Amino acid sequence: MNPSTAGTRIGQPNTTAIFFFLLFVGITLAITYWAARKTKTTSEFFAAGGGISAAQNGFALAGDFMSAASFLGIAGLVATSGFDGLIYSVGWLVGWPVVTFLIAEPLRNLGKYTFADVVAYRLKQTPVRLSAAVGTLTVVVFYLIAQMVGAGNLIRLLFGLSYETAVVIVGAVMILYVLFGGMIATTWVQIVKAVLLLGGATALAGAVLYPFGFSPTALFREAANRYGPEALAPGKLVSNPLEAVSLGVALMFGTAGLPHILMRFYTVPDAKAARTSVFYATGLIGFFYLVTFILGFGASVLVGRQAIVGVDKGGNMAAPMLAEAVGGTGFLGFISAVSFATILAVVAGLTLSGAAALSHDLWSSVVRKGHAPEAEQLNVARISSLLLGILAILLGVLFKNQNVAFMVGLAFAIAASANFPALLLSMLWRGFTTRGAVASMLTGSISAVLLIFLSPTVQVDLLGNASALFPLKNPGIVTLPLSFVVGWVVSLLSPEAEASRRFAEVEHRMHVGAGVPPPVTVPTGVAGTVPPGVPEAPQKV
């Protein structure tokens, strides 16, 4: 069980990795060509025409959510920090029951393409959609930067290409997926990626457990023998309980506010399928995080913490180095290509959600007041996708060699603070108003950005200052309640009769869906009489 630290091919061109990468790109471009022939309307471009089954959408949701941060980051955190590395996987995973019971079904019944459809359903369209677009685009941009920089560093280490070349390749392929294939292509790319990632990670975990008689307990015992009992104890990564709670709040409720995840609920035919797809996704993601737990401890035992940190200080190369240790260069190449495919699929989903905010929320609903022709909406959507892809490439190159961990935290903090409170209040509270929604979303976005900038993550780790003005690395425990309170107070101070009146319509549609008329209340009066136009109830014989 000596760590295999010598002779790694990380950082050198890998023929197997390049072969698997080209194979994946070839398959997914063929899918894109097929999807492009089926993508003729905005409904097909943004929501695959609502024709994705619950099982397919479950795999696509899992593929959209299991990013490189999940695979490479969590495995690295567990390898270098022990059990504490699981705080991210637990935080992300427990967000899915929130999505299942509070978000999925109402979102599918009330919206069309974006979560802003739900918030603006009974409120004034222009201010609500403008505010929602600010939050959505901020989340998308910061998430895109993190993925693009991650892709550049991954390919630089694993494929032997330059950082800039890797970023351009990721951006170009992603633009092709979204520009021509829309949601249909993106969905199937995510399904293929989810199957590859789950299969590759499971095979790697099996190879890790084989020397230990397929006993995780024996693996943990070996880790404790090598690094001491503290390897299995909490507190090394997050020692402050308040910090742990704040991070957990952002991760859990941020999951329920991510625009590219929420958008997937419009791809299924009905609310039941939306709820069922979350059930599938939760099972797949939960299994995946259990596997990364094995990979992390396996890397710490079979590769060694010093070797992992020596290649990458953040530990992000733990899983590829483990693949090389247990399966040689060929397995390293396969896992490397799967990691790259992971980034491609997530970036495609992010770009599509950003394009929906630009074309559907801003252009069609705000600029054209809902009167944009179908062909015009589709053209604007494709132009938006192209511009976002180019922006992602430029930002990826611009942020080269920067610590982008705070960007992922910022994306989740904004999603939790700006999107989730407004979404929940609009569905559950009659008194929620346009001004309350705008104030809630803007407060969540601005406070999250401001407090992240004032946090130790930026002030100490990134800028090198001695201290920070805000003590917590993630502001979720402050910004999420603040967004709720601001939305509540502003709504009380600015009542809106029309929004309150239409709440009954929202409740009815939220529970039974569109196309089912609300029940008619028959006034009491002369027996046997009903209002004009209402059919009499059939008499029992």
CA–CA dist 141, 350 (Å, integer): 8
541 residues of the chain, pLDDT tens digit each: 444 444 566 666 777 777 888 888 888 888 888 888 888 888 888 888 888 999 999 999 998 888 776 788 888 888 888 877 777 777 778 888 888 888 888 888 888 888 888 898 899 989 999 999 988 998 888 888 888 887 787 777 767 778 888 889 888 888 888 888 888 888 998 999 899 999 999 999 999 999 999 999 999 999 888 887 777 777 777 778 888 889 888 888 988 888 888 888 899 998 889 899 999 999 999 999 889 889 999 999 999 888 888 877 777 788 888 998 998 888 888 888 888 788 888 888 888 889 888 888 888 888 888 788 888 888 898 899 899 989 989 988 888 766 555 567 678 888 999 999 999 999 999 999 999 999 999 999 999 989 988 988 888 877 888 888 899 888 999 999 999 999 999 999 999 999 999 999 988 888 877 655 555 544 444 444 444 444 444 444 3
Residue 322 C-alpha from the chain's centroid: 26
The pLDDT value given to residue 288: 92
CA–CA dist 339, 159 (Å, integer): 12
Within 13 Å, how many C-alpha atoms sit on residue 340's CB side?
30
CA–CA dist 172, 294 (Å, integer): 34
CA–CA dist 280, 59 (Å, integer): 7
CA–CA dist 155, 63 (Å, integer): 20
DSSP 160: -
Residue 42 tokens read as 């905005």
Q: What is the DSSP string of 168-189?
A: HHHHHHHHHIIIIIHHHHHHHH
Cα-based distances in Å from 385 to 183, 200, 276, 309: 12, 30, 29, 37
Q: What is the DSSP string of 376-408?
A: HHHHHHHHHHHHHHHHHHHHHHHTTT---HHHH
Residue 465 tokens read as 């200052």
Nearest to 91 by CA among 323, 412, 327: 412
3-state secondary structure of 349: helix
Residue 37 tokens read as 């022939």
Residue type, 201: A
Nearest to 179 by CA among 319, 81, 32: 32
The pLDDT value given to residue 149: 82
CA–CA dist 9, 333 (Å, integer): 10
